[in-house]
Structure 1
Amino acid sequence: MEHAASDEQITAICRLMYNNFQVNAQFVNAQLELLSGSGGEAHAANPLHSTLRESLVQLNIEAAELNYPLIQSLNELENYVIVRIEREKMRVGYVIFGPSAYSDISVDAITGFLNDYNVPANLKEAARDYYCSLPIISGFKLLHASVLLYYLIYGKELNTLDVLHHRALFSEDEHVRFERHIDKNLSDQRETTALHHDVELEKQLFQSIKEGRTEKLRELANFDPKNLGILSKSSYLRSQKNIAIAGITLATRAAMEGGLHSEIAYTMSDLYIQHMEELTDIQSVVKHRTEAMIAFAERVKQSRSEKYSRVVAECQKYIYNHIYEELTVATLAEKVRLNANYLSQLFKKEVGIPIHSYIMREKVEEAKKLLTASELSLSEICARLNFYDQSHFTKIFKKLTGVTPKQFRSY
């Protein structure tokens, strides 16, 4: 088992973290009493909490486990990294890295939050100053900072993806309960609303739902550094509910595009939105929004796996994972240990198109992503996806989309 650094080393680590990120780092004992800090220009204490201990209790700091850093948000406005300190199987304290914010917090968001929590008038100005002065550190940068902090304390390098997956935003029991509820209930009522936010983030999020890519979706949904806007200036809670409802509405459409039966998709939408309206705190709303999106992706993934035989599903998975390689029927037949002619017949019978046509369709889908999200030239995209030449690439792309790659990029 890893052994934590000494108290003196942890004090030095706190200073290093502050010097590199301009975010406070503090070392507290098991009773949540301050032992040492970063020694830098300390960020003002949250005026809504009378003591450091009060802030840490609200963070649910004791949920931090030994093997991973814990990344927590308080009121969805300020973020913290918590590393549990153990020596000889005894918990001796915690290192707290924070507070920070993903991006500048708007005055409207702060005002709505203060109204939701009935903050006394004499504390509102100090609270606004506090939230406006939080150091900015993006979600992905915070993730890497958590891995660095853990390494400095325990000398063990963690995979950022493992840390991300460990940061569960909803319990498995709650998820299973909702899945059963979805299977048993149908509803005809739906709510929709409009949402203004980052277009590229939306494309990535809802493309992941459409493709049933739950792991990618967890990565995007857990760390969303973009400002999604304020849809209710009077209440931050209402604003987050509106954002969540809009996200669920878009997720419903993406799931149907991914092959999920419309009745199932609408039922899920109904139930998640209905439950959303019953929630009374911001963290539960954000947690529920993420739960809903991942549930849609999982349902798409499930429906796709049930739609095709194991052999065909395995071929589709291989094509997806090796889209930048040269793909042939012979290669796929070797992977699934079937005769190439038999595999071709089986694939066309289940999917409706020949394997070669399916491969070309998937390559064009990947090309569309590269045309939208990268600055690669057409010749570079053509080469990466193993088309014969640019003329062949353009011909196939136009056949499947109705426009040339150049026209698609200009839209």
Structure 2
Amino acid sequence: METFLYTLIDQAQLSESLEAFFVCSGLPMRLLDHQGEVLLQFGEDSSYCRLYENHFPPGDTCPEHHIRAAARAQNLGEPYLFACHAGLNHLVFPLIHRASLLGAVLAGPFLMHEPDVLLFQGVTAKYPLPRIQATQLPAAAGELPVIPPEKVTQLSHLLLHLLRSLILDSRQQQVANQEKLHQQSLIHESIQAYKFTALPALTYPADTEKELLTCLKTGNLKEAEQQLNRLLGFLLLEEGNRLQTLRNRALELCTLMSRSALEGGADSSLILPLNSRYLELLLGDTTMENICHHLSEILKAYMECMFSHISGKNSGLMKKAIAFLVKNYPSPITLQDAAEEVHLNPSYFSSLFRRTTGLPFRSYLNKVRIEEAKRLLSSTDYPLLDIAIAVGFEDPSYFTKVFKKYTGVPPSQFR
């Protein structure tokens, strides 16, 4: 495993990083393997630790404590501050590849306040020492560095920035774990809100689902994520631990979001392959946390597809204009309405819109309308006249003409 670790991370670069942190912080630094054994060390073992050497029982040794702390850090996705079984503080940073813990970097030991009698009493009660060694504990503890909590926090941040880029997969895994934890806390909040709802029986929040899809189409990522987490909170509350039922709901949401992205103007050549890939991903998920996290990633990916063609200094204005267009396409909106929405001269707006999106304003609007018409034709039995009006065409014959231009067939044949 040691050899494999060094195939993923440059040994010289890691050594330089650990030495730099040791020199700047004064904390001993160790590189641990997957069993907690030391591969590389800067700084000497403390005399406090040496007093306890060989006095911990099997299953409760320092390497075992250290690697368990590294596993906890892996779940948190960041450096983890912990107190070892001897009552001393450490910072541990996990080294991860393909979700497997290969080892860790350990900084410490240190104290966050001056040693007192409680430290010695607690440890010696659990792990008795011979009398001579026990009397040496206060002097040995006095040699340990004392670092105030606020400085420990900054050292943790420094350790993260120093090491997280050394293994790309490690950094990605930590970010994903942090995102999962944050999302689960938000979902938990929504579950608590549903629990205190005054309604005698909870019903599926269709309005929340509708708002989620609207936010997706209009490019409002922050609000879309909030609505998704509320929806997931309801599903988790209702379905309990039934993984398969939650997966089925997630598959439905994935498909609904893909359709909304198409309605919002995303290229079907991007969305349809993505949808197939994400459905396979959800089918392979074995935990509820992964299903929730993947739905959040799917939401972001679909939104990126909708706006991937927009870049440059005016991208914010154009995204706002497209969001206005997607939200109001059923109404008889004009180029001037959209220009006023973003406070631009209509002539300049027209030129900028075409340069940014590759389509004239009217063509882009018709594209959005036709995507929605295709959805209604496929999923409802509404009359063609009603569909034409619902998507913003007042003239049915013009609707048929535009529909055939974009799809190659008239709406009656498409159905």
Q: When the two structures are superposed, what TM-score results if normalisation uses the length of structure 2?
A: 0.38
Q: When the two structures are superposed, what TM-score results if normalisation uses the length of structure 1?
A: 0.38
